């Protein structure tokens, strides 16, 4: 069972004292719910398989996968505090779904001093972006298809992920846009829109090259 902190201030103080991967993993073990930890483990497992399939650095990919949701459950007030502390764009204030990756990435960059490849994989694991690295694609995709995900079409994307990672990423993005539209949400993150166009260009170019 996860241990509860005494109050929100404790979490901020502890986050400010994260300076190593051991600190990151200890924070996850202490402050992340059981269900979230199952998700993180699922992401780590599928990310490792995808890294081996496509030749990415397995160790670095697993670090990004394990850290991607480390602050997902700290609460909006705490998240906003860290957004301001790290001078992240104000557009992320009040939007934990999009901001948690940005905040986690800043912790890994500024306090744990991890390299840019890992930091970017964590930063863009929710939205994707134009020009993604292989590791970014893997963590983004693993987050969407890990074994605990049960949405319609996930099995198809799981199969596609090991055949064509770009097509699988595009499918996840298009599904996300459709899901948001079904909920009446019209505003789509700019990075996601650019990523959709970028993946389409890549796939169309490949088809053209084969013609």
Residue 2 lies in a domain: no
CATH code of 62's domain = 1.10.3210.10
Yes or no: say if 99 and 127 are a contact pair by the CB < 8 Å rule. no
Report pLDDT digits (tens) over 150-171.
Answer: 999 999 999 999 999 999 999 9
Yes or no: say if 32 and 69 are a contact pair by the CB < 8 Å rule. yes
Residue 130 has pLDDT above 60, yes or no: yes
Q: What is the DSSP string of 148-174?
A: T---TTHHHHHHHHTT-HHHHHHHHHH
Residue 63 lies in a domain: yes
Residue 137 in tokens: 């694609």
pTM of the model: 0.93
Report pLDDT digits (tens) over 14-57.
Answer: 999 999 999 999 999 999 999 999 999 999 999 999 999 999 99
Residue 126 lies in a domain: yes
Residue 1 lies in a domain: no
Residue 3 lies in a domain: no
Query: How far apart are alpha carbons 85 and 17 in whole angstroms?
Result: 14
Report pLDDT digits (tens) over 180-190.
Answer: 999 998 889 99
Residue 176's SS3 state is: helix
Query: Residue 171 belongs to what domain range?
Result: 8-210
pLDDT at residue 207, as a whole number: 83
Structural domain tally of the chain?
1
Residue 132 lies in a domain: yes
């Amino acid at each position: 069972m996860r241990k509860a902190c005494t109050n929100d201030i404790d979490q901020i103080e502890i986050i400010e004292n994260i300076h190593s991967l051991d600190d990151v993993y200890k924070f996850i073990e202490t402050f992340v719910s059981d269900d979230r930890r199952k998700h993180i483990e699922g992401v780590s497992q599928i990310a490792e398989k995808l890294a081996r399939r496509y030749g990415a650095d397995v160790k670095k990919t697993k670090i990004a996968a394990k850290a991607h949701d480390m602050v997902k459950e700290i609460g909006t007030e705490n998240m906003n505090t860290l957004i301001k502390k790290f001078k992240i764009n104000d557009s992320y204030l009040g939007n934990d779904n999009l901001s948690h990756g940005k905040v986690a990435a800043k912790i890994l960059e500024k306090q744990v001093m991890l390299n840019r490849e890992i930091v970017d994989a964590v930063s863009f694991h929710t939205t994707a972006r134009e020009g993604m690295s292989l590791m970014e694609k893997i963590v983004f995709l693993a987050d969407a298809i890990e074994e605990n995900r049960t949405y319609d079409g996930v099995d198809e994307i799981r199969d596609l992920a090991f055949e064509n990672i770009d097509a699988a990423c595009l499918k996840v993005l298009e599904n996300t846009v459709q899901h948001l539209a079904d909920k009446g949400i019209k505003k789509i993150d700019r990075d996601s829109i650019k990523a959709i166009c970028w993946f389409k260009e890549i796939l169309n170019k490949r088809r053209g090259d084969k013609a």
